[in-house]
Amino acid sequence: MTTISARISRSLPLPFFASIPPEIWLAGVLALYMAWAIGANDVANAMGTSVGSGALTIRYAILVAATLEFSGAFLAGGHVTDTVRKGMLDMDLVSQEALLYGMLAALTSAATLLLGATRFGLPVSTTHAIVGAIVGFGTVGIGPEAVNWAKVGQIVLSWLTSPLLSGVLAFLIFQITRQLILNKENPIRHVKRIGPVFFFYVFFIIGLVTLFKGLKNLKLDMALPEAVAWSFALGLVGALLGTLFLRRVKEGEEDPDHRFSQVERVFVVLQILTACAVAFAHGSNDVANAIGPLAAIATAVEEGAGEVARKAPVQPWMLAVGGLGIVLGLATWGYRVMETVGKKITELTPSRGFAAELAAATTIVLASRLGIPVSTTHTLVGAVLGVGMARGIGAIDLRVVGKIITSWLATLPISAALAIFFFYFFKGLLG
């Protein structure tokens, strides 16, 4: 490691950061690059439906998502992370130098792929991008036997399970909403009657999402019955707040052109609440796609000789790098993916956007408890498709959907190929 440090020091003279090992400095820059790419592509999913439905403007969506994503990343991002995401490599076969070059390559390749996808407004999975990169450098830098191919198979299967499950749930939620409220002669009266049930379920799911995803890194290990009990209590609070809120909703004119305006305002509140929960949970978990490799490199550099650790400690400054990068990415290029998810797949209203967000959050909860690998991106896009299907296939822009699915299929192989290139690039540069 000292040889590598010396070479980097000669290549990157940084007197201000002289006390920081140059490998960690380089990894920090690339982690910021990766976090920026996550913010620009993946984070936009959480708020895309809110923007598309008109519940939030792009400016406010960026502000809300930035606050919650950074809070999730910094406050609940975890103090320990997997050195290699999702257990994709057999760590007994990984040397320290292979880990160093590989993690640098993984950060660079995954971020570059996300950058290209965001440029064209295509929502892709950041987790799949980093996993594909790890598979790529692991296969050529260590050997095919080091890759957990069963895990790769589970991820490929999730391309089908994630959007299918969330799509079915979104279809059902919107159909229930339409039958019980929107298709009634006086929808405002019916939303005031049934609305507290919606508020209960939204707060219940928010509790489960937060406990199972958003706060799991804080080691709040609750058994399932305990988690459900706390979430049920939160749901009751939500029902009470919803009842008080709905009492203030006035029944407007019976003019068919305006009778949905008050109803949709109720769903605006429900949609924003659900989107906020997804954003916080996303920040706390997916920040590891940027800082996991950074923590692995820091551990490999600081521990010196010896076995590479399976878990790496995460320092507060690493969480700050991840959170800051996510916010910058969201603020600069996040609008591109927001427009695709929120406006180009199908036309969304607050009630449709609410169905999509709630279905995505429910899918995340179910997958977390069942141990099914799911992508937030695939889940949300599948939910939007499910809402569109509730109105008929003609309500969906199939050309946009085709491009999105193609980008999903290409994520793993392209990130793997880029990682192979960057692995040898960094090995030649630093080795």
How many Cα atoms sit within 13 Å of 424 on the Cβ side?
A: 8
Cα torsion for 272, 276, 277, 278, to the nearest 10°?
100
Question: Which SS3 state, helix, strand or coil, does residue 346 take?
Answer: strand
The pLDDT of residue 308: 60
The pLDDT of residue 250: 77
Q: What number of other Cβ atoms are within 10 A of residue 216's Cβ?
A: 18
Per-residue pLDDT tens digits for 294-317: 888 888 887 754 456 667 788 888
The pLDDT of residue 159: 79
Nearest-10 crossing angle of helices 398-430, 2-11? 110
Q: Is the CA virtual torsion 91, 97, 102, 108 positive or negative?
A: positive
Q: Low-confidence residues of the chain, pLDDT below 70? A: 1-19, 79-86, 214, 216-221, 251-259, 304-310
Q: Cα–Cα distance between 232 and 238 in angstroms, integer?
A: 10
pTM for this prediction: 0.87
Euclidean distance between the first and the last CA atom of the chain, given in angstroms as a whole number: 9
Residue 399: is it exposed, middle or buried by C-beta count within 10 angstroms (0-12/13-18/19+)?
A: exposed
Domain boundaries, the chain: 19-430
How many Cα atoms sit within 13 Å of 64 on the Cβ side?
A: 22
DSSP track, 309-320: PSEEE--HHHHH
The pLDDT of residue 307: 52
Q: Cα–Cα distance between 232 and 207 in angstroms, integer?
A: 8
